[in-house]
Structure 1
Amino acid sequence: MNLAIIPARAGSKGIKNKNLALLNNKPLLYYTIHAAKNSHFIDKIVLNSDGDEILEYGKTQDIDTLKRPSELAQDDTTSDKVILHTLEFYKHYENIVFLQPTSPFRTYKHIDEAFLKFQEERSNALISVTEYDNKILKAFMVNKKGHLQGVYNDKYPFMPRQKLPKTYMSNGAIYIIKTDLFLKNPTFLQEKTNYYIMDEKSSLDIDNAKDLEKANELINYN
């Protein structure tokens, strides 16, 4: 049994009431709920929010809703705390599928493909990613002595980019993990964390008004 958790905080600095902001005349939250409901691998969906308006919208979509306390709805509240709060009320699910509503172009097909990979490769966890410029491996950082050192090692800064390994960035769209492992160590980066690659459009994360404008352009263009 697999539990999908959708976190949707009411407060937002980039866009006021972001999770209910309209994308192609539908609330941003709609797209994640729709994807989760159409996935073949999700047995239960719960919307975790501090906002009454968000929770009311969730009820109209025939999914479970859970109100979180205000102390878990701050700017610095981390995802692990929201998940642990949800698991206090939703126990006995084998896997967690964590779906942030700021990824409207993540579809049920992405979720299903990611979950199949998670299963077939016997992963402990999986994170969706997009390819990222490997030039980052050529970066330096300042160590405790105030001297430069390579971010990863001291060889990469001087190697041609073509010889550097590929790098990936989490796109925030899909996180999957075995529940028992998360309860023991509440992080998605487990000993055997796999990855699922998504393209640039599908990876669009809505953080500010420009992102929402771009999403509206993309959804209407297609």
Structure 2
Amino acid sequence: MTLAIIPARAGSKGIKNKNLTLLDGKPLLYYTIQAAKKAKCIDEIVLSSDGEEILEYGKSQGIQTLKRPSSLSQDDTTSDKVILHTLEFYPQYQNIILLQPTSPFRTTRHIEESFERFKKRNANALISVIAIDNKILKAFILDDQDNLKGICNDFFPFMPRQSLPTCFMSNGAIYIIKSEIFRINPTFLPLNTDYYLMDKQSSLDIDCIDDLINAEQIIKGNIKCYNR
């Protein structure tokens, strides 16, 4: 059985009350809830929040809600703590899918394809990613003596880019992990972690007003991109 967790705290610095801010006339949270509700791989959805208005909206959408304490709703609260808190109330699920509401263009298809890949490859976890330029591997950092060293090793900075490994970055849209693995070691990157590649537009993460404006422009220019 698989539980989808949607973390949606009330506080937000970039956009006030971000999870309920309107995108094309609907709360940002709506898009993630709808994508999850139509995903056949998900058995139950729970919305974790400290905000009463957010929790009431979740109830209006026909999903489970779980009020979390203010100590788990701070700016520095990490998703692993939210998942562990949720598992205390929903211990029966074997798999967890974390769906952040700031990814409105992550669709049901993305959820189902990523879960199918997760199961087919018998992975312990899966992270949705976007491909990025591998020139980052040629970068330097400073060691504790203030000397330059390669960001990964001391060979990559001097290698041709075509010889460097392919690079990916998490887009924040989908995290899947086996519950028993997560309880033992609450990380999203255990051994045997697979990936699910998404395109740039589907990976749009709403963090600030400019992202919200961009999302509105995408919807007006290509309505199919967010149809479920």
How much has 1:92 moved relative to structure 2?
1.0
Q: State the shift of 1:31 in Å.
A: 0.3
Q: Write the mapping of 1:152-171 to structure 2, written as runs, cut at 5 A.
A: 152-171=152-171
What is the 5 A alignment of 1:180-219?
A: 180-219=180-219
2: CA distance between counterparts of 1:135 and 1:21? 36
Taking the aligned partners of 2:174 and 2:102, their CA distance within structure 1 comes to 11
Question: What is the CA RMSD across the aligned residues, in angstroms?
Answer: 0.5
Q: TM-score, normalised by structure 1?
A: 0.99
**Does residue 111 of the first structure (1) align with residue 111 of the second (2)?**
yes
Give the secondary-structure state (helix, strand or coil) at the position aligned to 2:92.
coil
Matched position secondary structure for 1:88: helix
Identity across aligned pairs (percent)? Answer: 67
- 2:186 equivalent to 1:176: no
Q: Which letter does structure 2 place at the counterpart of 1:37?
A: K
Q: Deviations over 1:90-123 (max 9, x none)?
A: 1110100000000000000000000000000010
Question: Structure 1: which 5+ residue stretches go unaligned?
Answer: none
Normalised TM-score (structure 2): 0.96
| Distance in 2 (alpha carbons) for counterparts of 1:64 and 1:29 | 14
Work out whether 1:85 is the aligned partner of 2:85: yes
Could you list the per-position Cα deviations for residues 56-110 of structure 1 after superposition, in whole angstroms to 9, with x for gaps in the alignment?
0000000000001011100000001100110110111010000000000000000
Shift of 1:27: 0.3
Distance 1:173 1:33 in 2: 13
**Which structure 2 residues correspond to residues 41-80 of structure 1 after superposition, within 5 A?**
41-80=41-80
Unaligned stretches of 5+ in structure 2? 223-228
How far 1:145 sits from its partner (Å)? 2.2
Q: In structure 2, what is the equivalent of residue 120 of structure 1?
A: 120
Q: Per-residue deviation at 1:157?
A: 0.5
Amino acid in structure 1 at the alignment position of 2:196: Y
Count of matched residue positions in the alignment of Structure 1 and Structure 2: 222
Cα shift readout 1:10-29 (whole Å, capped 9, x = no counterpart): 00000000000111100000
CA shift, 1:152, in A, is 0.7
4+ residue runs over 6 A deviation: none
Distance 1:64 1:92 in 2: 15
Cα shift readout 1:120-172 (whole Å, capped 9, x = no counterpart): 00100000000011111001111122211101111110111121111000000
